[in-house]
């Protein structure tokens, strides 16, 4: 594992400074260690095709050691196998499991889609959360899975098909326009927005941080606001939005929620802290309601993430 000093030298100085602006030194150190730790492989069973007991029995037979996840009964943390090992197995090839980071599983669990509901997934590719929601809904209801990029949309369609999802329609187009096309149509919206990806930085892969810049964060923040407005328009009164990012800065997280509180008729709902690796939202100079959001600090099983649960008032 790289030392803190090495990591500080590698990542962009503006990024490092922004962490020290937001977090105490102890938390910054935890984040930096998280960037250098090798992630354990995590996955969930696809309950449309398989079940957790059968999966655990199978892993015991082939000597794959695992640990269960207390807040997700269908997820496992693997101790002695990685993605390449799993990709050779029929359970992977046949779509019985989905390789997914634990943090990525949180927004659908917070959204809690139910059978028969109409759900919007604003930025759906490659489909990890869409397939998770379809399984939670037992393939009953409707999901509009939106993706702006045509190539990524093809990957999304492939994954939906492999996982046996029958209730999702793929829309290829700008998420900013959905609110006008589907005004007050959806019961719930998953707004997992494009972001600067600070939570998924790996110090071993310079591609994960070389493209980061304050200018890019600013640009993404403008897009996130447009997507929020579209999601809000598309949501029925009394409906729920879960806003999430895989980044750590305030600009794309708490400041978006603070802006939304000031511009829309919404309530921020409390989220149960699923794990002690989660922090509450940071409110300095912002609306106190932002404290109800959660931020996940990266480590050996979690990517860095931010999640907020929002209700559109009647």
Q: Which fold has domain 40-100?
A: Alpha-Beta Plaits (3.30.70)
Sign of CA dihedral 102, 108, 111, 114: negative
Is 246 tagged catalytic? yes
Give me the catalytic one of 195, 246, 293, 308: 246
Please state the pTM of the whole predicted model.
0.96
Q: Which pLDDT score, from 0 to 100, does residue 273 have? A: 79
**Where are the domains positioned within the chain?**
40-100, 101-312
Phi, psi torsion values for 235, nearest 5 degrees: -90, 140
CA angle 217/220/226 to nearest 5° reads 145
Phi, psi torsion values for 69, nearest 5 degrees: -110, 120
Which residue is it, tokens 């002695």? 80
Q: Which pLDDT score, from 0 to 100, does residue 22 have? A: 94
Q: Which pLDDT score, from 0 to 100, does residue 288 have? A: 95
Q: Report how far residue 63's alpha carbon sits from residue 266's, in angstroms, rounded to the nearest whole number.
A: 49
The 10s digit of each residue's pLDDT in 145-196 is: 999 999 999 999 999 999 999 999 999 999 999 999 999 999 999 999 999 9
Q: Which fold has domain 101-312?
A: Rossmann fold (3.40.50)
Q: Which pLDDT score, from 0 to 100, does residue 141 have? A: 98
Q: Which pLDDT score, from 0 to 100, does residue 6 have? A: 86
205 - beta bridge partners?
A: 202
Phi, psi torsion values for 66, nearest 5 degrees: -145, 165
């Amino acid at each position: 594992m790289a030392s803190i000093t090495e990591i500080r030298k590698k990542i962009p100085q503006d990024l490092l400074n922004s962490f020290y602006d937001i977090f105490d030194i102890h938390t910054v150190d935890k984040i930096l260690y998280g960037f250098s730790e090798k992630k354990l492989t995590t996955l969930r069973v696809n309950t449309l095709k398989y079940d957790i007991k059968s999966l655990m029995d199978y892993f015991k037979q082939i000597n794959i050691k695992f640990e269960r996840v207390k807040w997700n009964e269908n997820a496992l943390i693997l101790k002695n196998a990685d993605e390449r090992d799993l990709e050779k197995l029929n359970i992977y090839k046949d779509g019985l499991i989905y390789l997914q980071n634990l943090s990525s599983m949180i927004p659908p669990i917070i959204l809690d889609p139910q059978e028969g509901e109409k759900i919007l997934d604003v930025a759906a590719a490659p489909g990890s959360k869409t397939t998770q929601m379809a399984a939670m809904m037992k393939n009953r209801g409707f999901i509009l899975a939106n993706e702006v990029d045509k190539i990524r949309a093809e990957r999304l369609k492939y994954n939906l098909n492999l996982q046996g999802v029958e209730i999702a329609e793929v829309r290829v187009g700008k998420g900013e326009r959905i609110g006008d096309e589907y005004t007050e149509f959806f019961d719930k919206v998953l707004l997992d927005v494009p972001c600067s990806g600070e939570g998924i930085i790996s110090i071993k892969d310079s591609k994960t941080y070389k493209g980061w810049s304050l200018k890019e964060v600013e640009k993404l923040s403008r897009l996130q606001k447009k997507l929020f407005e579209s999601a809000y328009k598309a949501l029925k009164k009394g409906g729920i939005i879960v806003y999430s990012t895989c980044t750590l800065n305030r600009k794309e997280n708490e400041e978006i929620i603070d802006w939304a509180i000031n511009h829309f008729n919404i309530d921020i709902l409390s989220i149960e802290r699923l794990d002690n690796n989660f922090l509450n939202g940071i409110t300095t100079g912002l609306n106190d309601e932002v404290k109800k959001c959660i931020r996940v600090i990266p480590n050996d099983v979690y990517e860095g993430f931010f999640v907020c649960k929002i209700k559109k008032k009647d």
